[in-house]
């Protein structure tokens, strides 16, 4: 019996695709909402419990978190790893992924081209940071997703009310240099050594290219250099599976963001394969490889 669980957070929307497809490979696939998970510390062991089921006894756990789920779930990969359970994440990767600034910084330090970025609490300091980066400037909530929580200010008078509002909600933000682009970006999906790509074209009068903000997917072959940089970015952040947003500027391309839970719904046409199926087949194969490496 080879068992897999898919843990998903409140904000996750597409986990059912993975649960469904996983059943073609694993004997059991259990869907586990994060809000029903208990982390139980005892002298002998730390157990990851879902109701009466000990997830440490599973062969694989696929973790599907977005936004603030990542903070609560931060220790989950480590607990599972200690119990020889395969996850698609390295132990400290959620700490990096939960903060858009730290993930970009990690990539930049690893030699990946990223837009110049600053991390501040939303205060007057943010205005100084924006001046340094130059206008227009991009403002991102540190744990935003789906294009929500990403804003653009054309000048200081546009930035002030945004910062005042964010101060009220006590948000920390990452500012980024705006990469001039025609409202589109390239999404590269990394799955182990494989890459898949498509283009996301923003809706009319929309500079964000997120599908959830009205964008549309088009077939697009990323260059070999983009694919190589994407594979490297995935390794730096500790993900076996992730989505990379590539912005093409006038002076070359930049990675704007790395997502540990990329959307797979309706990507079949643009990518030419059933992504959720391919991911679960990959996890199945990796689980076997992981177990034989550890002599299980």
Ligand X SMILES: Nc1ncnc2c1ncn2[C@@H]1O[C@H](COP(=O)(O)OP(=O)(O)OP(=O)(O)O)[C@@H](O)[C@H]1O
Q: Which residues on neighbouring strands pair with residue 7, listed in sequence order?
A: 32, 63
User: Is 185 near Mg ion (CB under 5 A)?
Assistant: no
CB of 260 to ligand X, least distance (A): 9
Interface region with ligand X, contact rule CB under 6 A, candidates 15-23, 52-60, 176-184, 234-242: 176-184
Residues numbered 114-133 forming contacts with ligand X, rule: CB under 6 A: 115
CB of 41 to Mg ion, least distance (A): 35
CA distance 234 to 254: 15
What SS3 class is residue 193?
coil
User: Is 25 near ligand X (CB under 6 A)?
Assistant: no
Show the beta-strand stretches assigned E in the chain.
Answer: 3-8, 28-33, 37-41, 46-50, 53-54, 60-64, 86-87, 117-121, 137-145, 148-153, 172-177, 184-191, 194-201, 216-219, 241-249, 252-259
User: Token pair of 239, please?
Assistant: 């993900």
User: Is 9 near ligand X (CB under 6 A)?
Assistant: no
Query: By the 8 A CB rule, do 256 and 247 touch?
Result: yes
User: Is 264 near ligand X (CB under 6 A)?
Assistant: no
17 binds, among Mg ion, ligand X, none (CB under 5 to 8 A by kind): none
CB of 188 to Mg ion, least distance (A): 12
Q: Of 55 and 242, which CB lies nearer to ligand X in the complex structure? A: 242
Q: Which of 4, 130, 150, 233 binds ligand X (CB under 6 A)?
A: 150
User: Is 108 near ligand X (CB under 6 A)?
Assistant: no
Q: Quick one: DSSP state of residue 136?
A: S
Looking only at the bridges linking them, the beta strands covering 28-33 and 37-41 are: unpaired
User: Is 192 near ligand X (CB under 6 A)?
Assistant: no
User: Is 277 near Mg ion (CB under 5 A)?
Assistant: no
Residues numbered 244-273 forming contacts with Mg ion, rule: CB under 5 A: 245, 257
What SS3 class is residue 179?
coil
Kindly report the number of other CB atoms within 10 A of residue 269's CB atom.
10
Contact pattern for ligand X over residues 202 through 231, marking x by CB under 6 A: ------xxx---------------------
Hunting for tokens 């978190």 — which residue is that? 65
User: Is 69 near ligand X (CB under 6 A)?
Assistant: no
CA distance 88 to 189: 14
Size of the site for ligand X (CB under 6 A): 23
User: Is 245 near ligand X (CB under 6 A)?
Assistant: yes
Residue 168, exposed/middle/buried by CB under 10 A (0-12, 13-18, 19+)?
exposed
Interface region with Mg ion, contact rule CB under 5 A, candidates 23-31, 52-60, 124-132, 241-249: 241-249
Name the site residues for Mg ion (rule: CB under 5 A): 245, 257
**What is the binding site for ligand X (CB under 6 A)?**
115, 138, 140, 144-150, 176, 178-179, 181, 185, 208-210, 245, 247, 256-257, 259
């Amino acid at each position: 019996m080879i068992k897999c669980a898919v843990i998903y957070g409140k904000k996750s929307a597409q986990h059912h695709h993975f649960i469904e497809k996983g059943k073609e490979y694993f004997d059991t696939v259990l869907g586990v909402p994060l809000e029903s998970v208990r982390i139980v510390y005892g002298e002998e062991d730390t157990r990851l419990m879902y109701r009466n089921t000990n997830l440490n006894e599973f062969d694989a756990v696929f973790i599907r978190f977005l936004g603030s789920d990542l903070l609560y779930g931060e220790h989950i990969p480590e607990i599972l790893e200690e119990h020889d359970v395969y996850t698609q994440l390295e132990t400290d990767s959620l700490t990096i992924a939960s903060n858009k600034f730290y993930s970009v910084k990690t990539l930049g330090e690893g030699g990946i081209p990223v837009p110049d970025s600053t991390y501040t609490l939303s205060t007057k300091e943010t205005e100084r940071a924006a001046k340094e980066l130059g206008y227009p400037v991009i403002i991102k909530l540190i744990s935003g997703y789906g294009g929500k929580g990403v804003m653009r200010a054309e000048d200081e008078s546009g930035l002030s009310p945004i910062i005042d509002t964010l101060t009220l909600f006590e948000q920390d933000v990452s500012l980024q240099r705006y990469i001039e682009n025609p409202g589109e970006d390239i999404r590269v999906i990394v799955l182990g050594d494989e890459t898949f790509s498509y283009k996301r074209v923003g809706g009319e009068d929309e500079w964000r290219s997120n599908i959830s903000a009205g964008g549309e997917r088009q077939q697009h072959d990323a260059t070999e250099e983009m694919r190589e940089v994407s594979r490297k970015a995935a390794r730096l952040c500790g993900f076996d599976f992730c989505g990379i947003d590539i912005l093409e500027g006038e002076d070359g391309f930049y990675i704007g963001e790395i997502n540990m839970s990329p959307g797979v719904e309706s990507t079949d046409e643009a990518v030419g394969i059933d992504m959720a199926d391919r991911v679960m087949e990959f996890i199945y194969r990796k689980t076997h490889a992981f177990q034989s490496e550890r002599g299980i």
